[in-house]
């Protein structure tokens, strides 16, 4: 199968690794809000780099997720932004952690396996029909079993891939790439990941799913969503070696706050995802802007402030998913509390659109371009990662 007849993500990676011998690491960005998507596209344009948006079931789903986007409406929004911003670089979309109980609603409502699988299938179908390029099938979590075996995870993974392929073929859509495994699996050792990869690839052959092309494997590389995050190079090398054995690539998750990004392409990591950190970064910028807004109130430049921080905090507390990070916010140090709040803003940004616009309007009366400040800071961080991942000027080296 030639590079011109395989999915575009795979074609891109194989071109750079196999034809140019120039390792790159594709950056996956969580589409947490419109400003983060916009900043990502601007960064990609300025760096002449491809960009991948990795949407979780919580973020973008058939029911809208916490962003309000369905796969179709997100794809349409992305197309509109690409055109509006004049972005010629490719923007890909992937479905992240598509598996039972990996949508918060599954756990909140106590879904059975059958209910969770039915929901995931609807999510996968929506993503396939919207034209997603990558589907991460993650069947590694089971709250009832606790420790699902490699055999069980492989069987569930295969069933979901088979379902996705049926939807794709029945609708006459081109092949997509798949990602398997997870850093969330209770088993963190290399052998369980090795067994899972072997069983899934073997199962695809047995089921004659020739066009179901696995591109990435995921495993534990020691990364955590917290400041000071570093890749465990030894673990990553072992997984890269495993992936390479099957002509696949390693994808790392939880690459937020990463301190050694330049290592990723050097050891052959094909992709890396960054998510909650962007919500925290946006929150920290808005905290600074809120201070400027308060000064304008004191000076009499504006009569009424947006109260965006207060409303964000109210929505975060009401949402309740901050409990993923702490039993009690009151017991955290001020810096720890702000980090949890920042990470959890991702669940509620869509609830404060009006207040955010008011903040921008208030700041504009003093010549402060609030939206531009947010876009620039997020864009600059993304550009630093794109550079470390060898992605700058990629579009000049390959015709898409």
Please give the pLDDT value at position 5: 53
pTM for the model stands at 0.96
Q: Distance between CA 358 and CA 356 in Å, rounded?
A: 5
Please give the pLDDT value at position 3: 39
User: Span 102-114, mean pLDDT?
Assistant: 97
Per the DSSP assignment, residues forming a β-bridge with 94 are 54, 134
Residue 4 has pLDDT above 60, yes or no: no
Asked whether the beta carbons of 53 and 91 are under 8 A apart, the reply is: yes
In this structure, the chain runs to a length of 400
Angle, alpha carbons 165-166-169 (nearest 5°) = 80
Please give the pLDDT value at position 396: 81
Residue 107 has pLDDT above 90, yes or no: yes
- pLDDT tens figures, 320-337: 999 999 999 999 999 999
Residue 1 has pLDDT above 50, yes or no: no
- CATH code for the part of the protein at 3-275+379-397: 3.20.20.70
Please give the pLDDT value at position 348: 98
Report the candidate in 191, 193, 128, 186 with the shortest Cα–Cα distance to residue 162: 128
- Mark 204-221 as b/e (b = at least 16 C-beta within 10 Å): beeeebeebbbbbbbbbb
Please give the pLDDT value at position 395: 80
- pLDDT tens figures, 255-295: 999 999 999 999 999 999 999 999 999 999 999 999 999 99
Report the candidate in 86, 196, 89 with the shortest Cα–Cα distance to residue 138: 196
Residue 398 has pLDDT above 90, yes or no: no
Residue ranges per domain, the chain? 3-275+379-397, 279-371
The helix or strand, by DSSP H or E, that contains position 240, with its residue range, turns out to be helix 233-245
- pLDDT tens figures, 145-184: 999 999 999 999 999 999 999 999 999 999 999 999 999 9
Residue 400 has pLDDT above 50, yes or no: no
Contacts of 343 (CB under 8 A, 6+ apart): 225, 276, 277, 279, 280, 325
User: Span 65-87, mean pLDDT?
Assistant: 98
């Amino acid at each position: 199968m030639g590079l011109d007849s395989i999915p575009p993500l795979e074609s891109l990676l194989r071109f750079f690794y196999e034809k140019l011998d120039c390792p790159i690491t594709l950056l996956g960005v969580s589409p947490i809000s419109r400003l983060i998507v916009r900043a990502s596209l601007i960064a990609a344009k300025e760096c002449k780099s491809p960009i991948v948006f990795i949407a979780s079931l919580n973020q973008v789903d058939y029911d809208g997720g916490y962003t309000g986007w369905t796969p179709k409406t997100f794809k349409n929004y992305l197309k509109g932004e690409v055109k509006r911003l004049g972005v010629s670089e490719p923007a890909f979309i992937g479905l992240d952690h598509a598996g039972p109980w990996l949508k918060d609603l599954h756990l909140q409502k106590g879904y059975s396996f059958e209910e969770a699988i039915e929901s995931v299938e609807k999510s996968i179908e929506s993503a396939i029909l919207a034209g997603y390029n990558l589907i991460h099938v993650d069947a590694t979590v089971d709250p009832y079993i606790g420790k699902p075996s490699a055999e069980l995870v492989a069987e569930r993974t295969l069933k979901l891939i088979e379902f996705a392929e049926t939807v794709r073929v029945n609708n006459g859509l081109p092949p997509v790439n798949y990602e398997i495994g997870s850093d969330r699996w209770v088993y963190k050792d290399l052998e369980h990941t090795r067994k899972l990869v072997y069983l899934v690839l073997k199962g695809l052959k047995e089921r004659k799913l020739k066009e179901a092309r696995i591109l990435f494997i995921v495993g534990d590389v020691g990364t955590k969503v917290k400041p000071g995050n570093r890749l465990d190079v030894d673990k990553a090398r072992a997984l890269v070696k495993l992936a390479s054995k099957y002509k696949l690539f390693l994808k790392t998750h939880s690459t937020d706050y990463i301190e050694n990004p330049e290592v990723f392409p050097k050891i052959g990591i094909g992709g890396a995802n960054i998510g909650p950190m962007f919500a925290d970064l946006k929150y920290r910028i808005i905290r600074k802007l809120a201070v400027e807004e308060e000064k304008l109130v004191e000076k009499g430049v504006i009569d009424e402030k947006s109260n965006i921080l207060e409303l964000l905090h109210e929505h975060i507390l009401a949402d309740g998913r901050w409990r993923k990070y702490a039993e009690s916010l009151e017991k955290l140090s001020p810096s720890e509390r702000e980090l949890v709040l920042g990470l959890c803003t991702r669940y509620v940004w869509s609830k404060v659109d009006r207040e955010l616009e008011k903040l921008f309007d208030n700041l504009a009366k003093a010549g402060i371009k609030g939206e531009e400040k947010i876009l620039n800071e997020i864009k600059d961080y993304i550009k630093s990662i794109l550079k470390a991942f060898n992605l700058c000027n990629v579009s000049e080296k390959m015709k898409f």
